[in-house]
Structure 1
């Protein structure tokens, strides 16, 4: 673990130097992955790292855990409550759509969830521009392979330092970095809606995804789910499709 931490720290420092930036910023959700990143960027840039908590009607427990994370790793932090901004945007968009055609309630939850992720991305970049920081992503290998992130939302970042680590490896890294135990042991959630959990939404478990990525045998139904997720989300792992005319 110490070697992994050192390798990531040096890589982050090199990326910032190459970009002629000043430091790093991450959104802290109260979850495992963002807690690990907060610790890593603090180690890479003790005086130029920032954790941003961005609640949107968020679970109070998640907010408490996010605060515990930033306090434990002593990273500079700020809290930008986006609840009112999100509500206003949804209301404004819905009204205009209804004026032109029809707002489809069956798609409302995913539209709402993706807007949350994209608002947080925009917030991070606005703050990053102020400090000349790079935005650091929190996707692990399982999330990257299955496309479990919002395009131009939490997938909209400058750097992805833990994308080669399985969920279990990130958990082990969290223990090494002394992330609060309640954060390490909590049920993973992207805070997209009330009661949302990653594994329920994906239709399989991180343990099975990790095993699949390591070439181990898993139940056929879970293998099918994982491969379908990967195929369906290929567009997320690439830049916008380009038409070549010449």
Structure 2
């Protein structure tokens, strides 16, 4: 399938720019290393590759953080990425860490249980960050951010995130440019928070379709009528706008009141 014109760019040049940015930020913050969770998905694979190319493989601490309910192939793919990039992987089974919390959550409360796993992984990452020391490297993309498809204080927590301005479509193209394993690029995206979960299954459409609408919304500032006039299906537009509006609070950070010290002065 031909790449949509919205996402045509010099991906080799982009990789170089992001690698330089990582090196500058990490060293400017007084660190020499980064730590990240390698899930076996394309996002963490691209973040890992950029960091390895920027700082050197020995300065990238990769954590494999499986749970008993995780897809076994996810860990295999994570190891495949680490081997490809020359990263030493540390495995920490989060099952016993999650158990006291999950014991109090019904089995059918999948989102609640998934959020616990994401936040426990965050705790492990930041503990390793303190011990090494190293900055936590993020793996979230712009598509996920716009849709609020993230766990607050979980997979969104990091010290720097090189993928933050890249749509999922662009992450895939960057992965191909970086020569990452096709198995990882081609697999169905999944947060692996419960068995057989997929991102696109929850979203109700392909990322490639969602990205076209989200790009026109966020980059071109189109409203609903303009999006439909541009050729996007009304049902798709309405579905995505509802998700964006419902989860907008995740993008804004904690709400802060006005400075009431100025009242009455």
If the length of structure 2 is used for normalisation, what is the TM-score?
A: 0.84
Number of aligned residue pairs: give it.
235
**What is aligned with 2:153?**
152
Query: In the alignment, is the contact (CA less than 8 A) between 1:54 and 1:82 conserved in 2?
Result: yes
Q: Deviations over 1:154-197 (max 9, x none)?
A: 01111121122221211111111111111100001000100100
2:31 to 21, 28, 47: 21
- TM-fit CA distance, 1:213: 2.7
Map 1:62-211 → 2, pairs under 5 A: 62-91=74-103, 94=104, 108-211=109-212
Q: Which moved more, 1:159-168 or 1:180-189?
A: 159-168
**What is aligned with 1:231?**
245
Distance 1:68 1:105 in 2: 31
- TM-fit CA distance, 1:38: 0.8
Q: Which moved more, 1:29-38 or 1:213-222?
A: 213-222
Distance 2:180 2:46 in 1: 7
Q: Deviations over 1:46-73 (max 9, x none)?
A: 1311111100121111111111010001
Query: In the alignment, is the contact (CA less than 8 A) between 1:208 and 1:218 conserved in 2?
Result: no
> Which secondary structure state, in structure 2, belongs to the residue aligned with residue 161 of structure 1?
coil
Query: In the alignment, is the contact (CA less than 8 A) between 1:136 and 1:160 conserved in 2?
Result: yes
The answer to whether the aligner puts 1:53 opposite 2:76 as a matched pair is: no
If the length of structure 1 is used for normalisation, what is the TM-score?
A: 0.90
Query: In the alignment, is the contact (CA less than 8 A) between 1:22 and 1:131 conserved in 2?
Result: no
Query: In the alignment, is the contact (CA less than 8 A) between 1:204 and 1:226 conserved in 2?
Result: no
> Which secondary structure state, in structure 2, belongs to the residue aligned with residue 158 of structure 1?
coil
- TM-fit CA distance, 1:104: 6.4
Q: Which moved more, 1:224-233 or 1:27-36?
A: 224-233
**What is aligned with 2:13?**
3
Unaligned runs of 5+ in 1: 95-102
Shift in CA distance, 243/43, structure 1 to aligned 2, threshold 3 Å: same
Q: Deviations over 1:7-58 (max 9, x none)?
A: 1011111111221122111111011111111111111111311111100121
| Larger radius of gyration between Structure 1 and Structure 2 | 2
> Which secondary structure state, in structure 2, belongs to the residue aligned with residue 13 of structure 1?
helix
Distance 1:122 1:135 in 2: 11
Distance 2:67 2:107 in 1: 20
Shift in CA distance, 20/9, structure 1 to aligned 2, threshold 3 Å: same
